Amino acid sequence: MNLILLFDVFLIAALLLVSWRLLGASDLFQATVLFISFGLFLSLAWIRLGAPDIALAEAAVGAGLAGVLLFGTFKGLEPGADRENDSFTSEPCRLDPISPCPGKIHLLLAFTCVGSLTTLLVLAVLDLPATGDGLTPMVSQFLERSGVEHPVTAVLLNFRFYDTWLELGVLVAAVLGILCVRNRFDLRELKVLQAPDVMLRRLVMGLAPTMALVVVYLLWLGDHAPGGAFQAGVVLAAMLVLLWFSGHASITGLSRMLWLFCLIAGFAVMLLVAVVSALWPEMRPLEFPEEWSAMIILGVEVVATLSIGVALSSLAILSLGAVDDPGGS
Amino acid sequence: MSTFSIYSLAAILLVGLGVYGLFTRQHLLRKVMALNVIAGGIFLLLISTAYRNQDLFPDPVPQAMVLTGIVVAISATGFALALVRSIHRRMAESETDPSQDSWDQP
Amino acid sequence: MNQVIWVVLLPFVGSVVCLLAHRKAVFALGMAASLGTLIVSVGLVAHVWEHASARVELGGWATPLGIALHLDGLSALFLLLTAVVGVLVGIQAGSYFAQSPELRAMGSRFWPLWLLLWGGLNGVYLCSDVFNAYVLLEISTLAAVGLTILSGSTASLVAGLRYLLAAMFGSFMYLLGVALIYAGTGQLDFLLLSRGVTPQVHTLTAFGLMVFGLLIKSALLPFHFWLPPAHSSAPAPVSAVLSALVVKASFFLLLKIWFVVFESISGGTPGGMPSQLLGILGSLAVFWGSFQAVRQSRLKLLIAYSTVGQLGYLFLIFPILASPDFQGHEALAWGGTIFHLFSHGLAKASLFLAAGCLLQAMGTDDLHAMRDIAGRLPVITFSLGVAGVSLMGLPPSAGFVAKWMLLRAVLASGQWWWAPVIVLGGLLTAAYVFKILAHTFVPSEGEALRLNSVPLVMTLVPLALAILCVLMGFRADEVIALLPAVPHFGTGKNGWEMP
Amino acid sequence: MTFWLPLIVLFSSLVTGLVIFMLPEERSRLRTTLNMLGASVKVAGVFLMAWGLLAHDVVYEVRFTMGFGFDFLLKVDLLSLAFVSLSSNLWFLTTLYAVGYLEGSPNRSRFFGFFSLCVTASTGVALAGNLITFFIFYEFLTLVTYPLVVHRGTPKALEAGRTYLWHAVTAGAVLFLAVVWLQVLSGPFDFVPGGALHAVENLSGTDLKVIFALLIIGLGVKSALVPLHGWLPTAMIAPAPVTALLHAVAVVKAGAFGVMRVIFDVYGKDFAADLGLLSPLALVVVVTILFGSVRALMQRELKRRLAYSTVSQISYIVLGAVVLGPLATVGGLVHLVHQGIMKITLFFCAGILSEFLGIYRIDQMDGVGRKMPVTMALFSIAALGMIGVPPVAGFVSKWHLAQGGIQGGQEWVVAVLVVSSLLNAAYFLPILHACWFKPAAMDFEGTNTQRGTFSKWWEAPWTLMLPTLATALFSLAAGVFAGWEWSPLGVAEKIARGRDGGLP
- Best mutation target among C168, C169, C212 (most B Cβ atoms within 10 Å) is C168
- Best mutation target among D21, D68, D166 (most C Cβ atoms within 10 Å) is D68
- Are residues A124 and C180, on separate chains, in Cβ contact within 8 Å? yes
Is residue D188 one of the residues assigned to a domain?
no
Is residue D88 one of the residues assigned to a domain?
no
How many Cα atoms are found within 13 Å in the side-chain-facing hemisphere of D381?
28
Mean pLDDT of A193-222: 81
> How far apart (Å, rounded) are the C-alpha atoms in residues A110 and A94?
18
Q: How far is CA D265 from CA D326, D393, D408, D498, in A?
A: 15, 26, 20, 10
Mean pLDDT of C329-351: 89
Q: How far is CA D404 from CA B87, C374, D281, D409, in A?
A: 80, 50, 17, 8
- Contact partners, residue A82, CB within 8 Å, separation at least 6: A29
| Residue in C149, C176, C298 nearest the CB of B15 | C176
Structural domains in chain A (count): 2
Cβ atoms of A178 and A312 within 8 Å: the answer is: no
Nearest to A42 by CA among B7, C390, D468: B7
Q: pLDDT tens digits for C346-365?
A: 999 999 999 999 999 988 88
Instruction: Label residue A100 by pLDDT band (50, 70, 90).
Output: low
> How far apart (Å, rounded) are the C-alpha atoms in residues A63 and B69?
15
Q: pLDDT tens digits for A155-175?
A: 999 999 999 999 999 999 999
Is residue D399 one of the residues assigned to a domain?
yes
pLDDT value at position D445?
Answer: 57
- Are residues B79 and C145, on separate chains, in Cβ contact within 8 Å? yes
pLDDT value at position C499?
Answer: 28
Residue A131 predicted with pLDDT over 90: no
Maximum mean pLDDT: which of A176-185, B70-79, D385-394, D399-408: B70-79
pLDDT value at position C328?
Answer: 66
pTM: 0.91
Per-residue pLDDT of chain D (504 residues; tens, 9 = 90+): 678 888 888 888 889 888 888 888 788 888 888 888 988 999 999 988 888 888 788 888 888 887 666 788 888 888 888 888 888 888 888 988 888 888 878 788 888 888 889 989 999 999 998 898 999 999 999 988 888 888 888 888 888 989 999 999 999 999 999 999 998 888 888 888 878 888 777 778 888 899 999 999 999 998 888 888 888 888 888 888 888 888 777 888 899 999 989 998 898 888 888 888 888 999 999 999 999 999 998 888 888 898 898 888 889 889 888 888 888 888 888 898 888 899 999 999 988 888 888 888 888 888 888 888 888 889 999 999 988 888 888 888 898 889 888 888 888 889 999 999 999 999 899 888 888 888 876 666 555 445 555 555 567 778 888 888 899 988 888 888 888 877 888 888 888 776 655 554
Burial-class residue D26 by CB neighbours within 10 Å (0-12, 13-18, 19+).
Answer: exposed
Is residue B25 one of the residues assigned to a domain?
yes
Phi, psi of C465 (to 5 degrees): -60, -45
- Contact partners, residue B92, CB within 8 Å, separation at least 6: none
Q: How far is CA A282 from CA A275, C62, C378, in A?
A: 14, 16, 55
Mean pLDDT of A138-148: 86
Q: How far is CA D331 from CA D253, D323, D420, in A?
A: 15, 10, 16
B17 Cα to chain A: minimum distance (Å): 7
Is residue D432 one of the residues assigned to a domain?
yes
Touch between chain C and chain D (3+ CB pairs, < 8 Å)? yes
Q: pLDDT tens digits for B4-51?
A: 888 999 999 999 999 999 988 888 889 999 999 999 999 999 999 888
Touch between chain B and chain D (3+ CB pairs, < 8 Å)? no
Left (φ > 0), alpha (ψ -120 to 50) or beta: where does D389 sit? beta
- Best mutation target among B22, B66, B79, B95 (most C Cβ atoms within 10 Å) is B79
Residue type, B71: V
Cβ atoms of D191 and D261 within 8 Å: the answer is: yes
Which residues form the domain of C465? 269-499
Q: Give the DSSP H/E element, type plus range, for residue C69.
A: strand C68-71
Cβ atoms of C489 and C53 within 8 Å: the answer is: yes
Mean pLDDT score of chain C, rounded to an integer? 88
Residue type, B94: S
| Residue in A58, A61, A133 nearest the CB of B53 | A133
The three-state secondary structure class of D128 is strand
Which residues form the domain of A305? 150-329
DSSP state letter for A58: I
- Contact partners, residue C470, CB within 8 Å, separation at least 6: C386, C389, C390, C396, C397, C398
Residues of B in contact with C365 (CB under 8 A): 105
Instruction: Label residue C171 by pLDDT band (50, 70, 90).
Output: very high
The three-state secondary structure class of A218 is helix
Torsion of CA C412, C418, C423, C427, to 10 degrees: -160
Is pLDDT larger for residue D499 or for residue A43? A43
Mean pLDDT score of chain A, rounded to an integer? 84
pLDDT value at position D184?
Answer: 86
Which residues form the domain of D457? 323-504
- Best mutation target among D14, D175, D180 (most C Cβ atoms within 10 Å) is D180
Domain boundary among A78, A102, A127: A78
- Contact partners, residue D349, CB within 8 Å, separation at least 6: D375, D376, D378, D379, D382, D468
Mean pLDDT of A198-203: 80
Is residue B19 one of the residues assigned to a domain?
yes
Instruction: Label residue B95 by pLDDT band (50, 70, 90).
Output: low
- Are residues B42 and C179, on separate chains, in Cβ contact within 8 Å? yes
Q: Report how far Cα C455 is from the mean position of its chain's Cα atoms.
A: 27
What is D54-118 written as a DSSP string? HHH-PPPEEEEE-SSS-EEEEE--HHHHHHHHHHHHHHHHHHHHHHHHTTT-S-HHHHHHHHHHH
- Are residues C109 and A124, on separate chains, in Cβ contact within 8 Å? no
Handedness of CA D51, D54, D57, D60 (dihedral sign): positive
pLDDT value at position A324?
Answer: 54
Report whether the peptide linkage leading into residue D227 is cis, meaning its omega lies within 30 degrees of zero.
Answer: yes
pLDDT value at position C309?
Answer: 95
pLDDT value at position C496?
Answer: 33
Instruction: Label residue A81 by pLDDT band (50, 70, 90).
Output: very low
Domain boundary among A61, A78, A95: A78
Mean pLDDT of A65-75: 85
Phi, psi of C453 (to 5 degrees): -80, 145
Domain boundary among A43, A78, A113: A78
Q: pLDDT tens digits for C230-263?
A: 999 999 999 999 999 999 999 999 999 988 888 7
The angle, 0 to 180 degrees and rounded to 10, between the axes of the packed helices A161-182 and C130-148 is 10
Cβ atoms of C428 and C309 within 8 Å: the answer is: yes
Cβ atoms of A20 and B30 within 8 Å: the answer is: no
Is residue C311 one of the residues assigned to a domain?
yes
The angle, 0 to 180 degrees and rounded to 10, between the axes of the packed helices C26-51 and C101-126 is 20
- Are residues C153 and B84, on separate chains, in Cβ contact within 8 Å? no
Is residue C465 one of the residues assigned to a domain?
yes
Structural domains in chain B (count): 1
- Interface check for A122 against chain B (CB to CB < 8 A): the answer is yes
Mark whether A52 and A159 lie in a shared domain.
Answer: no
Q: pLDDT tens digits for C447-472?
A: 667 788 888 999 999 999 999 999 88
Mark whether A183 and A309 lie in a shared domain.
Answer: yes
Is residue D214 one of the residues assigned to a domain?
no
Structural domains in chain C (count): 1
Which residues form the domain of B34? 3-96
Is pLDDT larger for residue D156 or for residue A82? D156
Q: pLDDT tens digits for C50-92?
A: 877 888 888 888 888 889 999 988 899 999 999 999 999 999 9
Cβ atoms of B78 and A166 within 8 Å: the answer is: no
**What ranges in C363-455 are assigned the alpha helix state H?**
373-376, 378-392, 398-412, 419-441
- Are residues B33 and A22, on separate chains, in Cβ contact within 8 Å? yes
Is residue D402 one of the residues assigned to a domain?
yes
> How far apart (Å, rounded) are the C-alpha atoms in residues D261 and A61?
74
The three-state secondary structure class of C398 is helix
Is residue D69 one of the residues assigned to a domain?
no
Is residue B86 one of the residues assigned to a domain?
yes
Nearest to C280 by CA among C222, C348, C340, C209: C222
Q: What are chain B's partners, defined as 3 or more CB pairs within 8 angstroms?
A: A, C
Angle in degrees, CA D80, D84, D90, rounded to 5: 150
Residue B101 predicted with pLDDT over 50: no
- Interface check for C180 against chain A (CB to CB < 8 A): the answer is yes
pLDDT value at position C22?
Answer: 86
CATH code of residue B92: 1.10.287.3510
B43 Cα to chain C: minimum distance (Å): 8
pLDDT value at position C236?
Answer: 93
Structural domains in chain D (count): 1
Q: Which of residues 48-77 of B touch A (CB under 8 A)?
A: 48-68, 70-72, 74-77
Is residue C422 one of the residues assigned to a domain?
yes
Touch between chain A and chain D (3+ CB pairs, < 8 Å)? no
Is residue B106 one of the residues assigned to a domain?
no
> How far apart (Å, rounded) are the C-alpha atoms in residues A72 and A79?
10
Is residue A133 one of the residues assigned to a domain?
no
Residue B91 predicted with pLDDT over 90: no
Q: pLDDT tens digits for A261-312?
A: 999 999 999 999 999 998 888 888 888 888 888 889 999 999 999 999 999 9
- Interface check for D162 against chain C (CB to CB < 8 A): the answer is yes
- Are residues C65 and A139, on separate chains, in Cβ contact within 8 Å? yes
Cβ atoms of C5 and C69 within 8 Å: the answer is: yes
pLDDT value at position A323?
Answer: 63
Is pLDDT larger for residue C487 or for residue D399? D399
- Interface check for B61 against chain C (CB to CB < 8 A): the answer is yes
Is residue A196 one of the residues assigned to a domain?
yes
- Are residues A152 and B64, on separate chains, in Cβ contact within 8 Å? yes
Instruction: Label residue A83 by pLDDT band (50, 70, 90).
Output: very low
> How far apart (Å, rounded) are the C-alpha atoms in residues C467 and D429?
52
